Chains A and B, each alone.
Chain A
Amino acid sequence: MAQKIYPDAKAALDGLLFDGMTIACGGFGLCGIPERLIDALVESGVRDLTVASNNCGIDNVALGKLLRTRQIKKMISSYVGENKEFERQFLAGEVEVEFTPQGTLAERMRAGGAGIPGFYTKTGVGTQVAEGKETKEFDGQTYVLERGIHADISIIKGWKADETGNLMFRKTARNFNQPAATCGKVCIAEVEEIVPVGSLDPDCIHLPSIFVNRLIDGSPYEKQIEFRTVREREAA
């Protein structure tokens, strides 16, 4: 059987990187971020990247690291707030952004990975998102044509995977990782634990192994929280 497990992120990206490439990246905010792979991209020095990711991290965290080193040319994102360096580079014209509604972005990744070159959606009709795009009437409603995303590589973060790449996510860390995984020519997944084949319930696999080409155990993780909100315990 072909070996998918690599010793570390650098090894897992070996031979795949080139300047000007497109990368689909999972995560929402700082939740479910492929941080080992992002660190390896920073270290590789690969430049002029187009990155499809819901967010661009925050200052110097997650994709914010690649922004700081000026390796990103363009983001395809729905939300880039809470990131001063992004705002600075954007307003200075140093980084480009293709604002894409969150659901449209997820569906563009899903479609790209499912062999669907484009789809019609109501989202964004009559706004600047639809400018220059084909529209079509269905049953009296106007829809806009959006294109599927095809990336050179996908980088994702999972919870557990077996040795063949069957993968499970945990809670809201699934988010964009699942659609992003499917739309790259090569998907590299980092997980918290790699377990023997047969130890995951086949009915509970979120991402079947066919979508995972390379795999690393990125543990241990110190997961960051953007906004820690808590409640008080009621007095006993």
Chain B
Amino acid sequence: MVVSSQIDVLQGELAASAATPASRAAALPWYCYAVVFAIACVPIGVLWDISWHLSIGRDSFWTPAHMMIYLGGSVPGLVCGWLVLRNTFWPGPAEQSPAVRIWGFRGPLGAWVVIWGACTMLFSAPFDNWWHNAYGLDVQIISPPHTVLALGTYAIAIGALILVLSWQNRSSADGRLAANLLVLFACGVLLTQLTVFITEYSYPNEQHGGTFYEFGCRLLPIYLIVAARVSKIKWSATWVSLIYMTIKMALVWILPLFPAEPRLAPIYNPITHMAAPLFPLLLVVPAFGIDLIMQTVGRKRGFWRDTGLALLLAAVFFILLLAVQWPFSTFLLSNAARNAFFAGNAMWGYPDHLGQWCVQFWRPENRLGITSSVMAILLGTLGARLALWFGNWLAEVKR
């Protein structure tokens, strides 16, 4: 209900903004669209690549999944490089030039962050190659070179968010709908990237364990809270969670449609189609809780006020995540989820020895208890406090 009423509001605002000549004059620049849509290529490409590794195994520099990741780094990097050159060598009037100065060059702050991210991605490639030669091919998802790569991709996405936010923050209320939507989209992409990075801890089989809730509460609320703080659209955290869930579900439904044959040995699970990513976490519920709290508390700020708010947000996030994922993970491990919609049995790859462990909760010694619950809330408070601080700063960024 809330979602459909929001769509009506958005459609109305979009129609109104398209109708006024003033808003046309202040149209969101093309590079914002290019950069924000390009960053979506990264998590989609990474999820595709993980599926490729689980299904086909053998890959090369030129696989479509890799190309998609490169696209997500190169397009924003080149566009922002051009922005810096344009602002440096062909600047407009100072009052129209949203730029900061670094090493004698001038460019939008978001563009600088994107450039740093693109350079970091580039640097991670030879580092990762060396790592493969030194320790073997992708023994773990979370490795130092992958972390450098992830930092680069996050930086690009954060830079894109800053680029659009600075435009939103400078614009009048009636001409910023497109920027508002792109902000939500960028937050959704960032959230998706975060969930990819904690894939190893977020299997349904881990969702009765303390580690999942500790990682989840520490990281997942960050961009939901940032969105709620910076966005000019109501229910923004809910929208962001829906964007994340849509991206994930689309891949869960689309990837297994494609035939695939393992090309590496040993093959313990002779799959015939691409493996599905994990079914998305039902973050829409805790995100809705975050929106409710943020709207109730209002936009007033202050160190202690935000610290108390962070504790409240973390506690509510933890409770709602637990209330949703605890039973939902049980469902995902049941026979009822072994279908094309939930892909409960389509996420295992060719190297997996299928067995009873696939439908069991792992690491019983790690089962969520009081200590890990308290730890999850404390870590969540830390993450939420940082998100509020970052959101407060982003809400005022102009360049």
Are A and B physically bound partners?
A: no
